[in-house]
Structure 1
């Protein structure tokens, strides 16, 4: 049937490993959001919920709610770097919802937190792309073999998405080449 998308086998342990990776990526830049909005716990809560799922917690409504709350926090911040840091936290919680569909767009669930974190680091450094590239390299080094294996089950990251999309594709290429 034309347009049919095949399914990819993903275990709950695969999802936990991907979510742990995403949380680690987001946590590195959390301070950029908190410097702007020190009394707003939403991105930290999203990363905490992601970590809880990665350690064996359930993938339920509260995890999804913290992701949405982190996205709202991103829209409330005064700095572009803080916004990207909150989006990294949102993506960390959202990583638990990677769908087993062989679609390139699903790669964002795996790599979105790392790409948003890299973009946040670039922005705080005056839009220095070498800082983003170094943040991507750090994410590559912390990705487990399971994360790389899961990523390779999906098509390559899609085009578009501005600079964050470029960082997703850079991270995708680097991890697939590892």
Structure 2
């Protein structure tokens, strides 16, 4: 019984706040996708649907459908930077559905928009790690206090690993928990 994850408090206003931040991250990443696939509006539509939720609309099938379409756009684009940018849009569209369960998996969803932004812009800059780290700082600096409070309710879990993605995830998590 003690191994079961507990629930955390997470209300719709907090989901909207998380989504507003996720939208800001995704909007910053969108130009990376659109530089490679200017005619593909699926990631932008996902961000637009997430923004609508953040501004007070209900979660709808349109939001979920837009997220799935942006996922497909990322798979189809054939460019690592653009794929990461599409994942930022997917992360924004998925934020309204974050579960109030105290697991490391859920906090990884909160990291997703900033992590994908950093990976997209870093890859677009030829793999320059300074660019990815600057994007993490940009995202963390724009995180409202309430978002930091939400992140602290979730366990960090194992953020280890030697991949670039793991390093950036640790930077995002540390920045949001400070």
TM-score of the superposed pair, with normalisation by structure 2: 0.95
Counterpart of 2:177 in structure 1 is: 176
Whole-Å Cα distance in 2 between the matches of residues 165 and 157 of structure 1?
12
What are the ranges of 5 or more consecutive residues in structure 2 without an aligned counterpart?
none
Tell me the distance in 1 between the aligned counterparts of 2:139 and 2:130.
Answer: 14
For 1:12, the equivalent position in structure 2 comes to 12
Q: Distance in 2 between matches of 1:45 and 1:133?
A: 27
Query: For 1:1-178, what aligned pairs fall within 5 Å after superposition?
Result: 1-159=1-159, 162-177=163-178
Please give the alpha-carbon distance, in whole angstroms, between the structure 1 residues aligned to 2:96 and 2:166. Answer: 20
> What's the TM-score, normalizing by structure 1?
0.95
Question: CA–CA distance in 2 between the matches of 1:150 and 1:163?
Answer: 25
Offset at residue 14 of structure 1 (A)? 0.3
How far, CA to CA, are the matches of 2:20 and 2:83 in structure 1?
21
Q: CA deviation at 1:47?
A: 0.5
- Number of residue pairs aligned between Structure 1 and Structure 2: 177
List 4+ stretches of structure 1 deviating above 3 A: none
Asked if the contact 1:36–1:78 (Cα under 8 Å) also holds between the matched residues in 2, the reply is no
Q: 1:160 to 1:45 in 2, by over 3 A?
A: farther
Which sections of structure 1, spanning at least 5 residues, go unmatched? none
> Partners of 1:62 and 1:158 in 2: how far apart?
34
Q: Counterparts of 1:160 and 1:65 in 2: how far apart (Å)?
A: 33
Deviation for aligned residue 1:3: 2.6
Distance change in 2, residues 1:96/1:160 (3 Å): farther
Larger deviation: 100-109 or 160-169?
160-169
Q: Aligned to 2:81, what secondary structure does the other structure show?
A: helix
RMSD, matched Cα? 1.3
Deviations 1:108-141 (A, max 9, x none): 2212011001001110111111111000000011
Q: Say whether the 8 Å CA contact 2:103–2:155 is kept in structure 1.
A: yes
Aligned-residue offset at 1:157? 5.0
